[in-house]
Structure 1
Amino acid sequence: MRTLTTDPTPGAGLPRSEAHGLAGTAAPHESNWLHVRGQARYIDDLPEPTGLLHAAVGHSTQAHARIRAMDLSAVRAAPGVIDVITVADVPGHTDIGPVFPGDALLAGELVEHVGQPLFAVAATSHGAARRAARLAQVTYEPLEPTLTAEAALERQSFVRPTHVQLRGDPDGVLAGAPCRLQAEMRVGGQEHFYLESQVCLAEPMEDEGVFIHTSSQHPTEVQKLVAEVLALPFHSVQVEVRRMGGGFGGKETQAAPLACIAALLARRTGRAVKYRLSRPDDMIQTGKRHDFYNTYDIGFDGDGLLLGADIMVAGRCGYSADLSEAVVDRAMFHADNAYCLGDARVVGHRCKTHTVSNTAFRGFGGPQGMMIIERAMDDIARHLGLDPLDVRKRNLYRPGRDITHYGQHIDQHVLPDLIDALEASADYRQRRAEIAAFNRQSPVLKRGLALTPVKFGISFTAIHLNQAGALIHIYTDGSIHLNHGGTEMGQGLYTKIAQVVATVFRIDLSRIKVSATRTDKVPNTSPTAASSGSDLNGMAALDACEKIKRRLIQFAAERYGVDPDAVTFADNRVQVGADSVGWVELIQEAYLARVSLSDTGFYSTPKIHYDRDTGQGRPFLYFSHGAACSEVVIDTLTGEYKVMRVDILHDVGDSLNPAIDIGQIEGGFIQGMGWLTSEELVYDAAGRLLTNGPATYKIPAVSDTPPDFRVALWRNSPNREATVFRSKAVGEPPLMLGMSVWSALRDAVASLADYRYSPPLDTPATPERVLAAVMDTLDWADRNPATGNMADDPIDGTTGQSTGEQFGARP
């Protein structure tokens, strides 16, 4: 059974109105019918310009090598080829690193990962371009590659300097702690697997500029890098994004190289150029979620209360920095998740490897950082013989233990009450007892249960990105045109911002049109990322609306001879003293009176700061919270498993749109579950990605959705910070709720040793890894016999029901 909880009423503090679609209501996604009917236009659906060419690149087959020779004669002679370029043909910048240098547009003498572009081809068809690109004759001098984070640590090979956050005296506390544990774990990466692969369309303009249609979360960065590659001023490059077929962070920086190559070929040929990656090329050439190697050294008392911690997080960044400095920063910021570490040191390494440069992915390093402390919570519980939930609750931030290891004060303690509520609604204690009883009598199948929290910081950790702009036009028929710097990738941002505008003027949502994000309408925009799309762009739109509204109020007060306080907006009308004026009537009167009906808005996030030298500050304006309770069943003979039930309670403040927020929570959880269970990136010893398509890389399917899936929003939790209508971000935090599935798998395996052993389980927790954890736990139980040890029962498949009968539907 699948249960959804929505609230059709406006959020607390918003005045009620009969106008439809205001903030706080479950208004439908602005493109829902276009999606259902197949009418929503993506870049590959746009009408093709006359003479359109298609681009492709030839890429490196070596992870680390010098190029001794590159013969492109066969490429140039291939059918349909119009142009071929190398790095020598670039008129401007050849390094397109988004923050730090190191990302070559096309390789020169050195290649540093399999799939690195060497040259580009423009041809008359997509197939012709790809076939031609494979005809190059390249001679390499192979060099020794570094392929893993552990190897990079050993060689001290980093793309950016190591960073340390230190609070108190962790070494002294650890030395004197009553209990102490140490562990290491490997957290796997993740392919974005957006439905629409990377794609762009570049059209030359009459003034030597270019117009770019791109599937990018960061149109301003595309504008900047294209201009620099072409040696043009920024105003000569216009970039438009109407929608993306998914992004998840993979289109924050990784869309720009395609646009640069397409624009360069368009300028050279004078013809429009489309560059679309096939799925295998996309997976080989573009970055992914960073995989991490993490360690902890923790001290705690006999009740499981953390006293001190020394945590190391090391991300495999790939060959260049890309966004890795900020990604590992966020992993460090979230190494505590929801718990006070006590005196703590957190060290972050940015490991250079000869693999594709990893990049942003939903959660942006936060999930990888959280994993090590969630492992610690389970390990403490098994060590002391306690329920893991009790250990987690005991260590939550609370008054008196409310300063993070990087110095930020936690001033809104949502999780204690939220977790208590979920514990009750999910029947955690009763189910815990039932599962223990089931596991005692079941020789093959074992069930597991875990309830894990999430505390996720909201703001870009790069302070300058915390800004946004918006543009509002009111036309004389009362309709409104809205443009802002946020991009729509299916998450409902356009709908939410339109609801903000509707709420300011108290008019129907249907009166508002959001147009494609364009660099010539709102300039210098930040990426739509860091869960900040609604926060930043909503406040910018609110600012623009309030400016216009103040002018309308002043005009109405003067026109009707009343005090400005007597002018109010409600239900598609404006109350002016004793008179009620229709919305359209007031707008027309204002136009005739020469009142400006257009304005821009701007917002910059207040209060945030961080000192890298001291590792202390306030990098986040506020935190979003949530918790999930997951139940699994595993087959101890094969390692197969199924998620049986999930209960989620999530805090979104005063929701701008409950239906969209619940959709984000559901999708985020499933994506997080996939990251931690089935989505495995496999490289061979030469650095080649072997899981380069849907046949080998397994994202969750519909059948993996828990048959009992319950999602609810935490009520009466308005944001204490002055965000748009006191809402809280919802894009990234739900992904980390998937940690409850991984913890539940460990719980099921731990039952084999009567919950006295905490089995190691790296992620993704594939059936093979679960089976290895089972064998490890049985081995431990054999070496540590005890009364009541569940491992004493033979598990050889000769007793009890067949695994198929007990599982029901197989995973």
Structure 2
Amino acid sequence: MSDASIRLKKPENDQPHLPVVTGGATKSLKHESARMHVSGSATYIDDLPEPQGLLHVVPGLSTKAHARIIYLNLDAVKALPGVIGVLTHRDVPGHNQVSPVGKDDEPLLAEDEVFYYGQPIFAVIAENRSIARKAARLAEIEYEDLPAVLNIAQARAAGSELVWRQLEMKRGDVDKGLAEAPRRLNGRITIGGQEHFYLEGQAALAQPGEEGEMRIWSSTQHPTETQHMVAHVLDRPSNLVTVEVRRMGGGFGGKETQANTPACLAALAANLTGRAAKIRLDRDDDMLMTGKRHDFVIDYNVGFTDQGDILAVDMVLAARCGWSADLSGPVIDRALFHADNAYFYPDVRFRSEPLKTNTQSNTAYRGFGGPQGIVAAERVIEEIAFATGLDPLDIRIRNTYGTGTRDITPYHMTVEDSIAADIMTELAESCDYRQRRSALRERNKHSPYIKRGIALTPVKFGISFTATHYNQAGALVHVYTDGSVQVNHGGTEMGQGLHTKMVQIAMREFGLAEDRVRITATTTGKVPNTSATAASSGADLNGMAVLDAVTKIKGRLEEFAAKHWNITREQVRFLPDGVHVGDKVVSFPELTKAAYFDRVSLSANGFYKTPKISWNPNTGRGRPFYYFAYGAACAEVAIDLLTGETRIERVDILHDAGQSLNPAIDIGQIEGGFVQGAGWLTMEELVWDDKGQLRTHAPSTYKIPACSDRPRIFNVQLLKQSPNKEETIFRSKAVGEPPFVHGVAVLQAISDALASIADYKICPKLDAPATPECILRTAEKLTAQKPDHNF
């Protein structure tokens, strides 16, 4: 692996004045918890010391996809020795609702009706977890079956209601554009969902305090929302509820809203008994209860020229949303936002269909709908390439956003910095894409069973919450008299290195070494009203909030030093060798102690809100994103036509992280995001039976990428000399979700390999996930379409 420099031509309108980096904030500092991770001393919810008298909570789940509860007998559950009590919706003192969008369509515990297989109906409180799990199976429940809608096809056929309003984005006259286009094609792509499969499952510990206080340790990406939900359920003000998160064992969006139910159940048990209560979902229960990545069916109609110029695109994006709204509305909106990927469509219309089904309520997942839209965009490119006989890469480069009349998105935002074509061109040259493509095609002629393919795809990913009010963050920084610093902020750490980057910001600004800055657990008691750590905005938002707090303290110290040493403020500089005050160098501890004795405040709150953004969902117009992150990936694969198995031979990635805050961490995120994206599109398959039961509900039935599934050759490079033109933290760019999309190159490479069966004359129209079964079905279809029918 390498982060070797690849330089692109800098945009002419690039900002001329960038902060001078003197250390700390743009170097590859190790993860702040790395040593604890590898030694096993990093604590998660289930590792915390158990309070005396701790109780354990286990939910009882529905075994019907849609039914009315006509009889519920919990006597045997309550009678089991060791059981302290059983919670039902009648035990909720406040509101029995945990909808994150305020639709009141998501009861915490089912009332008279269940809406999916795995919905919590009751919860057992017991002396230990084993007893609680045993007791939960003793409930007697009788149901009256009701009609169940399980997938997109059934929802459409039944005229299922929508969980959210439909959205239409359009620009130009798509009907006219399609009618006048010299060439037309239409098609459909089916894209599967994905289980989050975080290493640490959903978990929470609740401890009651005095006069209604409730302290929650939760594995949540959104401590403020969890705080609000617990307060809502307990019917008390938020100032009595404190939520704390030191770290999570992964989240990927699965702990943005889905962590609320476990936290609320633990809090209810603690409130009812007056004792601390903990819930840690069994992996099977976790997968049965919680929402996944949305699966989509996307229909497209495209007009284009013989040269591969796209003239008009019309898409309908339908998604299986599940039984409640959850975050389906903004997820599907983001799918529409990214259904253009890096390409300009002169006439365009995107429409959403957020369909209600009797399955788990699908939710946030890394990319938040964007990857699904991008997969559809790349299918369009692929179809045009086969129709024209041109290299898909040439179609991609030909249609990328430009300037002037080719820079307006379907939602009417101007793309000011499109570098997708440059990145693809540079990557194609550095990885020898064209030569390798020709060589693989020649090799496939002489290999009847092992077929190889290659593809190079771009990503243009919008950065910001599309819910504008979430684009804000707070921080609290303390400097102590010994010169040590404590940083608190509203973001959460789930392994992605956010805390490390926040430490680096304080290090850089104060000129301190790593061991002088300490990050603390995220807690609503220190930084209130925070946004979820999601939308790739954790470092952008919280970093600027930390910088704001640090800048305030530095200003006070500069003012004090100027007065104390009789110099100007401009002569005070914080550098790694100490604080320069005129011609004198003093240590940071010496300065802070002297400032304390002069009664200078050494603590400050920081705040940041993202500028320039706006979005009107009623008109489908606005600037929902502060900026775009770019990148490109080239994937080479081999498929076995006898078994359908795929092997990723080589991957080259060139990714735009702006002026990276921490290159090592960012490269790690790119590598992990790619593997997760490739897993989604090749092997991770969710299967429900005709009764609505999720059959892939455990590691034994749900396959995720293993070490052997990684690319045999894996080259990852960060784009150099490409600072963010917007004023983000030290001109960096988000690196959470965009790299996930690089996995699309693998799906396209598999399709390229399959196309060799029919001499590259027929588009394979490969759906996702491209499992061995899917690959063999596609191969069979292509063989049947060949004129000679030989396979």
TM-score by length of 1: 0.95
Paired with 2:464 and 2:162, the residues of 1 have a C-alpha distance of 26
Residue 389 of structure 1: how far off its partner (Å): 0.6
Name the CA shift for 1:12/1:389 in 2 (closer, same or farther; >3 Å): farther
Counterpart residue identity of residue 522, structure 2: T
For residues 515-573 of structure 1, give each alpha carbon's deviation from its aligned partner in whole angstroms, at most 9, with x where no partner exists.
00000100001000000000000000000011111111111111111121111111141
Does 1:722 find its partner at 2:724?
A: no
2:473 alignment partner in structure 1: 468
- 1:483-632 correspondence runs (5 A): 483-632=488-637
Change in CA separation of 1:294 and 1:16 when aligned onto 2, cut-off 3 Å = closer
Relative to structure 1, the CA distance from residue 652 to residue 4 in structure 2 (aligned partners, 3 Å threshold; closer, same or farther) is closer
Are the aligned partners of 1:483 and 1:515 in contact in 2 as well (CA < 8 Å)? yes
- CA deviation after TM superposition for structure 1 residue 753, in Å: 1.4
Corresponding residue to 2:246 among 242, 248, 254: 242
- Determine if the alignment matches structure 1 residue 159 to structure 2 residue 176: no
Aligned match of 1:134: 137
How many Å apart are 1:156 and its aligned residue?
A: 3.9
Once the 2 structures are TM-superposed, how far is the Cα of residue 329 of structure 1 from its aligned partner?
0.5
The 2-side partners of 1:634 and 1:319 are apart by 38
**Corresponding residue for residue 50 of structure 2:** 48
Note the 1:315-394 alignment, pairs <5 A.
Answer: 315-394=319-398
1:217-232 → structure 2 map (5 Å cutoff):
217-232=221-236
Q: Is the 8 A contact 2:638 2:648 kept in 1?
A: yes
Other structure's SS at 2:455 match: strand
* Residues 1:143 and 2:132 are matched in the alignment: no
Are the counterparts in 2 of residues 203 and 273 from structure 1 also a CA contact under 8 Å?
Answer: yes
- 1:116 Cα deviation after fit: 0.4
Q: 1:305 is matched with which residue: 297, 302, 309?
A: 309
Shift of 1:641: 1.6
Match of 1:276 among 277, 280, 295: 280
Displacement after TM superposition at 1:350 (Å): 0.8
Match of 2:117 in 1: 114
One of 253, 257, 260 as aligned partner of 2:257:
253
- SS of 2:163 mapped into structure 1: strand
One-letter amino acid matched to 2:675: I
Distance 1:6 1:116, change over 3 A: farther
Q: AA paired with 1:444?
A: Y
Amino acid at match of 1:390: D
User: In the alignment, which residue of structure 2 is the partner of 1:430?
Assistant: 435
Q: 2 CA distance for matches of 1:526 and 1:681? A: 30
SS at match of 1:213: strand
Aligned pairs for 1:560-709 within 5 A: 560-709=565-714
2:459 aligned to 454, 458, 461, which one? 454
Select which of 749, 774, 783 maps to 2:779: 774
Q: Distance in 2 between matches of 1:636 and 1:440?
A: 14
- Secondary structure, aligned partner of 1:539: helix
Match of 1:82 in 2: 84
The RMSD of aligned alpha carbons is 1.3
The one-letter amino acid paired with 1:767 is P
> Equivalents in 2 of 1:307, 1:759: separation in Å?
23
Rounded to whole Å, the distance in 2 between the matches of 1:89 and 1:561 is 67
Q: How far did 1:505 drift? A: 1.4
Q: What residue ranges of structure 2 are gaps of 5+ in the alignment?
A: 7-15
| Letter paired with 1:38 | G
Q: Tell me if structure 1 keeps the 8 A contact 2:5–2:719.
A: no
Distance 1:156 1:353 in 2: 8
Counterpart position of 1:802:
none
In structure 2, distance between residues paired with 1:179 and 1:101: 48
- Mapped to 1, the partners of 2:529 and 2:5 lie a distance apart of 36
Given that 1:572 and 1:583 are in contact with CA atoms closer than 8 Å, whether structure 2 keeps it comes out as no
Rounded to whole Å, the distance in 1 between the matches of 2:595 and 2:123 is 55
Distance 1:567 1:711 in 2: 40
1:62 and 2:67 aligned: no
Gapped regions of structure 1 (runs ≥ 5)? 786-790, 796-811
* 8 A contact 2:5–2:720 mirrored in 1: no
Aligned partners of 2:300, 2:170: CA distance in 1, in Å?
Answer: 14
1:12 touches 1:654 (CA, 8 Å); kept in 2?
no
| Kept after mapping to 2: 8 A contact 1:6/1:659 | no
Q: Distance in 2 between matches of 1:764 and 1:648?
A: 22
Give 1:4 deviation, angstroms: 5.1
Q: CA deviation at 1:5?
A: 4.6
Partner Cα separation in structure 2 for residue 140 and residue 725 of structure 1: 59
> Which of 402, 425, 431 does residue 420 from structure 1 map onto?
425
What amino acid is the match of 1:57?
P
Q: Normalising to structure 2: TM-score of the pair?
A: 0.97
Match in the other structure for 1:804: none
Match of 1:34 among 11, 25, 36: 36
Distance 2:120 2:199 in 1: 23
Q: Which residue of 2 aligns with 1:395?
A: 399
Conserved in 2, the CA contact under 8 Å of 1:101 and 1:321? no
Distance 1:551 1:222 in 2: 36
After superposition, the C-alpha distances for 1:743-772 in whole angstroms (9 at most, x for unaligned) are: 000000111112111012111100110111
The one-letter amino acid of 1:104's match is: P
The CA deviation at 1:157 is 2.0
Distance 2:770 2:447 in 1: 22
3-state SS of the aligned residue for 1:703? helix
SS at match of 2:775: helix
Distance 2:206 2:465 in 1: 30
Q: Name the SS for the 1:207 alignment partner.
A: helix
Instruction: Say if 2:344 and 2:407, in contact at 8 Å, map to a contact too.
Output: yes
| Deviation per residue, 1:285-337 (Å, 9 max, x gap) | 11110111111101011111111110111111100000011000000100101
Shift of 1:133: 0.7
Task: State the aligned residue count.
Answer: 779
- The CA deviation string for residues 597-634 of structure 1, in whole angstroms up to 9 with x for no partner, is 10000000111111112111100000001110000111
Q: What is the percentage of aligned positions where both structures have the same residue?
A: 55
Instruction: In structure 1, give the amino acid aligned to 2:763.
Output: S
Partner of 1:201: 205
Structure 1 Cα separation of the partners of residues 626 and 609 of structure 2: 11
Counterpart Cα distance in 2 of 1:258 and 1:613: 34
Q: Distance in 2 between matches of 1:356 and 1:30?
A: 35
Where does residue 25 of structure 1 map in the other structure? 27
After superposition, the C-alpha distances for 1:471-521 in whole angstroms (9 at most, x for unaligned) are 000001100010000000000000001111111112212210000000010
Separation (CA, whole Å) in 2 of partners of 1:317 and 1:213: 29
Residue in 2 aligned with 1:757?
762
Q: 2:75 aligns with which of 73, 76, 91?
A: 73
- Residue 246 of structure 1 and its aligned partner are, at CA, apart by 0.4
Contact in 2 for aligned 1:508/1:572 (Cα 8 Å) = no
Letter in 2 for 1:55: V
Distance 1:274 1:6, change over 3 A: farther
Letter in 2 for 1:216: T
Cα distance between partner residues in 2 of 1:73 and 1:566:
76
Residue 14 of structure 1 and its aligned partner are, at CA, apart by: 4.7
| Counterpart residue identity of residue 307, structure 2 | D
Indicate if the aligned counterparts of 2:226 and 2:259 stay in contact, CA closer than 8 A: yes
| Structure 1 contact 12–716 (Cα < 8 Å) conserved | no
Asked whether the equivalents of residues 473 and 482 of structure 1 are also in contact (C-alpha less than 8 Å), the reply is yes
